[in-house]
A and B are shown apart, each in its own frame.
Chain A
Amino acid sequence: MEVKVLTKHYDKPEYRSLEGYKKYGGYEVLKKALGMKPEEIVAQVKEAGLRGRGGAGFPTGVKWGFLPNNGEPRYLVCNADEGEPGTFKDRMMMEKAPHQLIEGMLISAYAIQSKKSYIYIRGEYMEPYRIVEKAIQEAYDAGFLGKNILGSGFDHDMDVYRGAGAYICGEETALLSSLEGKKGQPKLKPPFPAVEGYLRKPTIVNNVETLAAVVTIVKDGPKEYRKYGTEKSPGTKIFSVSGNVLKPGNYEVPLGYPLKDLIYNLCGGLKPGRQLKAVIPGGSSAPVLTAEEAERATLDYECLAEMKSMLGSGAVIVIDDSNCMVDLLKVIMHFYHHESCGQCTPCREGTGWLDKIVGSIYKGEGRLQDIQLVEQVSKHMMGRTICALSDAAAMPAISFVQKFRSEFEFYVREGRSKVKEVIANA
């Protein structure tokens, strides 16, 4: 069953406004947090074991702990540049509960003692941008932002920044580059953004869902939070289900929830007469799972890592047997080719190369060795670049080719898709 912790009041339209939000206990947690010591909040988040919901799954409390104590101004940046194909949870959160995000950011900012924060929203999200901008204005007017918030002596300013269409800006250092008004190209690590980030000052970048989850942790305490989820992946998470299911959408379930149940129970299963073929469990950059693996998988960081896939941003793309894997890989490769920032050579050239190889297979001009070449090129793109985009392109390529090799080989030999054949026969 769905467990609604974050999304509890999302079905109420008034939750979007400050008044409505306050009606359901909004900004009460902030009052509580401002009464605590910043270190206590960090400790609570650490104890709750909250892991980043943006894709990498890095423990949030640990990330906050990396901030150096050198007296430099600190920045908090909310990563709302949701670009991973299949993911649409942040958009919903910003549209339905902008104040939840602002409250989470305020608590986090207080915990890391930051005086200025930014919400970086992807350029295409015009509607959420307007909503968040309005919500911030409301919060300023109500005294939740600005100088001396709720009389605690804590000052904080918040601003929204709108991107302009680049998937790579979802990577934290690229996001910071973009925020500085540069091209959104990732920066070299080390130094990590917690040490040298926005304008070379210590900066924490967190996903929308992560920051919203901070509210529930501080509200109920880490023990209550740990009630859901598994030992290593505690809490609930919003999964964006899309693809060939009857009821696609966002579903909040505890981590460790079986993938099978998500697809068949919550999402209403597949279209009648269709068989499950594959599932991409964490956005297009996660390695694909076969139907058989999907039956076994549970939605937590560990299980999926064991299956050599990843939870990523929680975008579950369900693929039924009417889809040709060559076709889908071509779409995915085109996406990474289009979105590579062009900085590191293996990614810049590799994504283009993969796109061309898969494209030529799709056109029926492929050679048998091309299938192996896809694997080889992907292998040498992985872990060779500044950011993880080249891995993100390589992992689906490898997994598609390895897990559906016969389909690729058929395509190369016959110059047409096996799937359409099967469907026609049926």
Chain B
Amino acid sequence: MFELSKEGVEFVKKEMQRYETKRSAIIPALYKVQEENGGWVSPECVTYLSQLMDLPEVWINEVLNFYTMFNKEPVGKYHVQVCCNVSCAMNGGRELADHLCKELNIKDGRHSEDGRYTLSRVECLGSCGTAPMMQVNDKYYENLTKESAVQILKELP
């Protein structure tokens, strides 16, 4: 059974006050839950959040399933998102993703075998001028080459 930490509960309560409707707090609350649940939101989290926020589970689940930044399944310690949209594709974003799959031992196209990395090919991240690029968790890495990307990922703690 998932439960937020005391500080997390306080954060959600505060967010519910912060906006005009408490429904607006769903997205921040889901971010918090995702952070505390190891990078993804499980159905139990939704049930828990629905009780905490006193909102129908369906509302939370709809939001959870609509937005791409909420993970519906467990992810590795580093969620590597490689942009494969037009500008990046033209500058080798897709090849970079394939290369990373190979280098990081990602067989099924999602998770590396040691569970450290999860790779997803995502749509435009708004860094087209510095293509190709990737986002690891919150942080942007731009103007990559195959070698530099691997190096960056390998050097992560």
Contacts and interface: CB of A to CB of B under 8 A. Distances in A.
Judged by CB atoms under 8 Å, the answer to whether A and B touch is yes
Interface in B1-35: 18-28, 30-31
Contacts of B151: none
Contacts of B157: none
A164 B31 contact: yes
A44 interface: no
A248 B129 contact: yes
B63 interface: yes
Contacts of A126: 138-139
Interface in A179-230: 179-184, 198-199
A117 interface: no
A184 B126 contact: no
A162 B70 CA distance: 13
A90 B27 CA distance: 22
A242 B131 contact: yes
Contacts of B63: 164, 181-183
B84 A180 contact: no
B125 A124 contact: yes
Nearest to A198: B20
Contacts of B138: 126-127
B124 interface: yes
B90 A244 contact: yes
A365 B51 CA distance: 51
A250 B126 contact: no
A163 B27 contact: yes
B136 to A, nearest CB: 11
A37 B129 CA distance: 41
B69 A165 contact: yes
B24 A86 contact: no
Contacts of B25: 181
B135 interface: yes
Contacts, number: 140
A249 B125 CA distance: 15
B68 A166 contact: yes
Nearest to B131: A242
Contacts of A91: 126-127
Contacts of B67: 123, 163-166, 184
B69 A85 contact: no
A339 B127 contact: no
Contacts of A124: 69, 125-126, 135
Contact of B87 (A122, A163, A243): A243
A38 interface: no
B153 interface: no
Contacts of A252: none
A323 B125 CA distance: 21
A117 to B, nearest CB: 12
A183 B128 contact: no
A411 to B, nearest CB: 17
A125 B125 CA distance: 8
Given A164-B67, A332-B86, A248 B130 contact: yes
A335 B129 contact: no
A331 B68 contact: no
A98 to B, nearest CB: 16
A179 to B, nearest CB: 6
Given A180-B23, A199-B20, A164 B128 contact: no
A125 B127 CA distance: 10
A257 interface: no
Given A164-B68, A166-B68, A199 B129 contact: no
Nearest to A327: B89
Contacts of B85: 85, 284, 331, 335
B62 interface: yes
Contact of A88 (B23, B90, B128, B135): B128
Given A86-B128, A335-B85, A181 B27 contact: yes
A117 B73 CA distance: 35
B71 to A, nearest CB: 11
A212 B63 CA distance: 31
22 contacts: A84-B124, A85-B85, A86-B87, A91-B126, A123-B67, A124-B135, A162-B28, A162-B31, A164-B27, A164-B63, A165-B68, A178-B27, A181-B19, A181-B21, A181-B26, A182-B62, A184-B67, A242-B129, A248-B128, A248-B130, A248-B131, A317-B87
Q: What are the 4 closest A-B residue pairs judged by CB atoms, nearest first? A: A181-B23, A164-B67, A165-B69, A242-B128
Given A183-B66, A335-B85, A335-B124, 6 more contacts: A88-B129, A165-B67, A167-B123, A181-B19, A328-B86, A328-B89
